[in-house]
Amino acid sequence: MERTSAGWPDLQQRRVLLAVCGGVAAYKAAEFCRLLVRCGAQVQVAMTAAAQHFVGSATFAALSGHAVATELFDPVQEAQIGHIRLADAAELLVVAPATADVLAKLALGLAGDVVTTAYLAFEGPVLLAPAMNVKMWGHPATQQAMQRLRERGHRVVGPESGELACGHVGAGRMSEPETLLDAVWHCLAPQSLAGRRVLVSAGPTREALDPVRYLTNRSSGKMGYALAAEAAARGAAVTLVSGPTALATPLGVRRLDVTSAAELAQAVLELAPQQDAVVMTAAVADFRPVNVATHKLGKEQLGEQPTLTLTRTVDVLAALGAARGAGGPLLIGFAAETGIDEARVLGKLAAKQCDLLVVNDVSRTDAGFDADDNRVVIYDAAGARQALPLLPKREVAGRVLERLVELLAARRSAVPADG
């Protein structure tokens, strides 16, 4: 199983109650359970009787490492687990797959099995992942139940559209386990950026030589996508300006696609004044061809030793630093270096006018370009440095955003009370 586009969220010791209902998508719930445990969560599973026709309780017991609650009136299970104890012990209740039958019962407050009774006893956030036939999903009764559940503040993920197990095509597929994993983190993450607007740039740019060739770099976009995902999970309204990547848009993120450095600069400089912070992780090409051919350049035109004339592209980070003014957004830059020269870094920090500059050595094989991990040094505007060990990019994103929260708090406290 591949990582999400943003990497794994950190769910160490977070307590999740996974309620599995009867549907073909129950097999996805097993993979989702495995991912939760892999991210460090403590998972307790409850299953309806119908769910056990699709996946056995022994599967979930093995994946979660805990006994599975299946019977409301079994004296042994009630003594060992107990539906009230299930609700009291959890931080988050996830119903996946959430069938039409169970959604209707939850909306009405019916409690006839271990899942529905645990729901009524649970007082924390609830995440619903509907899965059913497209006609069942579109039925007014189901939509009325969903409206009532949304009004209670429950988060709903999916259903997605596609070919269903019954052969019909349309909305009804349960969201993929990786998508649900990010949704869990949205429910549990500290809302330290709630109400804030954050712009993140990510990925490489491409500078055309002719209709089929271009200059680019090895950036995968993973670091920027991790930052966008983490900022959204922490409550920010996130706009992701992305160069060409193969990554999926993180949950809750608005994405704008660009190709060239000029397109990226236009988008970022236009959006920046409305942001509380701009995080520039994009690997912007420093040079572009002076002349761009309108047709493919053949070997006979290029010759044996072709010469390519280049010119500088706009320095987007420096332009942001120069244009933002005293009340502009906080600015976090990323710098990819082949070996970290302290004097060069400090010079770049001053020239770009960043509040933070995050530097990583892309000559290393275990971090940086194309890797899932990163090892960075964070410099503040005064030149003080914070070196982080090798960490998953999602965790690096969290550390960087913690510094951003500190800067936002400092800026707020510096504003006079009557200002």
330-337 sheet: strands from edge to edge: 253-257, 237-242, 197-202, 277-280, 330-337, 356-361, 376-380, 385-387
Q: What's the pLDDT score for residue 2?
A: 44
Check if 187 is active-site.
no
Give CB contacts under 8 A, 24+ apart, made by 387-390: 390/366
Instruction: Choose the CATH number for 197-409 among 3.90.1150.10, 3.40.50.20, 3.40.50.10300, 3.40.50.720.
Output: 3.40.50.10300
Measured at the alpha carbon of residue 314, what is the angle toward residues 384 and 228, in degrees to the nearest 5? 60
pLDDT in tens, 297-317: 777 776 677 788 888 888 888
174 within 8 A of 21, measured Cβ to Cβ: no
Predicted TM-score of the model (pTM): 0.86
298 within 8 A of 210, measured Cβ to Cβ: no
Q: What's the pLDDT score for residue 368?
A: 59
What is the distance between the alpha carbons of residues 163 and 319, in angstroms, rounded to a whole number? 47
Please name the residue ranges forming H helices in 255-341.
Answer: 261-271, 299-302, 316-323
What is the distance between the alpha carbons of residues 132 and 347, in angstroms, rounded to a whole number? 58
Residues recorded for the chain: 419
- Report the amino acid identity of residue 175: S
Q: What's the pLDDT score for residue 259?
A: 94
Residues near 106 by beta carbon (within 8 Å), at least 6 away in sequence: 95, 116, 119, 145, 149
Q: Which two tokens stand for residue 172?
A: 């009804």
Q: What's the pLDDT score for residue 416?
A: 59
339 within 8 A of 188, measured Cβ to Cβ: no
Digitized pLDDT (tens) for each residue of the chain, 419 residues in all:
344 555 778 888 899 999 999 988 999 999 999 999 999 999 999 999 999 999 999 999 999 999 999 887 666 666 666 667 888 899 999 999 999 999 999 999 999 899 999 999 999 999 999 999 888 899 999 999 999 999 999 999 989 776 666 666 667 789 999 999 999 999 999 899 999 999 999 999 999 888 888 888 888 899 999 999 999 999 999 999 999 998 989 989 999 999 999 999 999 999 999 999 999 999 888 888 888 888 887 777 766 777 888 888 888 888 888 887 667 899 999 987 776 777 787 888 888 888 999 988 776 666 656 678 888 999 988 888 898 998 888 899 999 999 999 999 888 776 655 54
Positive or negative, the CA dihedral 29, 95, 254, 37 is negative
Q: Return the CATH superfamily for domain 15-188.
A: Flavin prenyltransferase-like (3.40.50.1950)
Same fold, 15-188 and 197-409: yes
Catalytic residue among 33, 166, 187, 354: 166
The domain segmentation of the chain, as residue ranges, is: 15-188, 197-409
Task: Return the percent helix, strand and coil in the chain, to nearest 5.
Answer: 35, 25, 40
Chain position carrying tokens 């019916």: 110
Q: Which of 340, 348, 338 is nearest to 315 (CA)?
A: 348
Q: What's the pLDDT score for residue 1?
A: 37
